[in-house]
Amino acid sequence: MLDNITIEYVIATAIVIFFAIGLHEYAHAKVADMAGDPTPRAQGRVTLNLTKHFELMGTIMIVVSSLSGFGIGWGKPVQVNPLKMKNYRWDHFASVIAGPLSNLVQAMAFAIVFRVIAITSPAILQGEFLYSLLFQGVMINVALMLFNLIPFGPLDGHWLVGLMMPEPQRTRWFIFNRTTGSFLLLGIILMGQFSGFSIIGMVIGPPAEFMLRFLLGI
C-alpha cells in the first residue's frame, strides 16, 4: 500500500490528523476549564492554536499508522486537577470523554460533506485530494475515537472506567495504568507495527469498519 501513496493523499491525511488530534486535546482542556479547573488554561492548553496540542511520539505513530491503514496515536496529554472542578467525578468524566466525542463529531462532519457531494456533484469526488480528505476525515477520526476508548494504559478509556469504580479499586486501577499498563500498551502497539499482528487492529478494526460504512453509506 505504501508504494501507491501520492502527495495528495499525504497532504489530505496530514490535514485530517492536525485537526483530529488538536481538537481532541482542545476539547479535554475546554471542558475541564468550563468545570472550574484552572490547570489547562494556566498551561496554555485552552486554545485553538492546535500546534500546542501535539506530542512527538504520538504524532509519529498516527502518521505511520494512517499511511499503512487506519490511524492510532495521541496528542500531548492535557493535565487537569479534578479537585478544582465543581463535581470531582462527573466533571472529570465529562472532560475525558470530550476528546473522543470531538473525533466523533469531526467524523460525522466529514461524512455529511462526503454524502452531500456524492449526491449533488459526484464527479468532484473523483479528485484524489478531496476524496482522500473526506474519506480519511471519517476513518482517522473514527479510529482515534475507538482507540482512545480502549480502557488501558494512558488512554482516555482507562479514566472513564476508573471513574466508575469505587475506592480503593479506582486508585489501584489508575496506578496500574500509569505504570505497567502504559508500558504494556506501548509494547502491543509496537508489536503490531513491526510484526503485522496487531491486537489493537483486531479490537478496533471491526467497529471502525462498521462505523465507516454506516457514516459514508458505502
Query: Would you place residue 73 in the very low, low, confident or very high pLDDT band (cuts 50, 70, 90)?
Result: low
Identity of residue 198: S
Q: What is the pTM of this model?
A: 0.89
Q: In the Cβ-directed half-sphere of 138, how many Cα atoms lie within 13 Å?
A: 24
What confidence score (pLDDT) does residue 145 get? 94
Can you give the pLDDT at residue 68? 56
Identify the weakest region by mean pLDDT among 32-36, 49-53, 95-99, 105-109. 49-53
The mean of the pLDDT values for the chain is 88
pLDDT tens per residue across span 156-169 = 999 999 999 998 99
Count of Cβ atoms closer than 10 Å to residue 61 Cβ: 19
DSSP letters, 30-67, are HHHHHTT--HHHHTT-SSS-GGGG--HHHHHHHHHHHH
> Quick check: 97 pLDDT over 60?
yes
Mean pLDDT of 189-208: 80
d(CA 69, CA 105): 21
Do residues 44 and 165 lie in contact, with contact meaning Cβ atoms separated by under 8 Å?
Answer: no
In the chain, the percentage of residues whose pLDDT exceeds 90 is: 59
* pLDDT one-digit tens code per residue, 22-61: 999 999 999 999 999 999 999 999 999 988 998 877 777 6
Rounded to an integer, what distance in angstroms lies between the CA atom of residue 174 and that of residue 163? 9
- Measured distance CA(106)–CA(23) in Å, rounded: 9
Give the pLDDT confidence score for residue 34 in this predicted structure.
Answer: 97
**How does pLDDT run across 167-186, given as a tens digit for each residue?**
899 999 999 998 888 888 87
Residue with cell 482515534: 144
Q: For residue 20, give the nearest of 145, 205, 126 by alpha carbon.
A: 145
Buried b (16+ CB within 10 A) or exposed e, 189-217: beebbeeeebebbeebeeebeebbeebbe
CB neighbour class for 21 (10 Å; exposed up to 12, middle 13-18, buried from 19): buried
Residue-level pLDDT at 60:
72
| DSSP label at residue 181 | I
> Residue 199: which pLDDT band, with cuts at 50, 70 and 90?
confident
Burial state string for 150-170 with b = 16 or more CB within 10 A and e = fewer than 16: bebbbbbbbbbbbbeeeeeee
Mean pLDDT on 123-143: 92
Domains in the chain: how many in total? 1
- Euclidean distance between CA atoms 190 and 175, whole angstroms: 22
Range of the domain at 172: 2-216
The dihedral over CA atoms of 80, 83, 88, 91, expressed in degrees to the nearest 10, equals -30
Residues comprising the chain, all counted: 218
With 90 as the cut, is the pLDDT of residue 215 above it? Answer: yes
69 band by pLDDT with thresholds 50, 70 and 90: low
87 pLDDT exceeds 70? Answer: yes
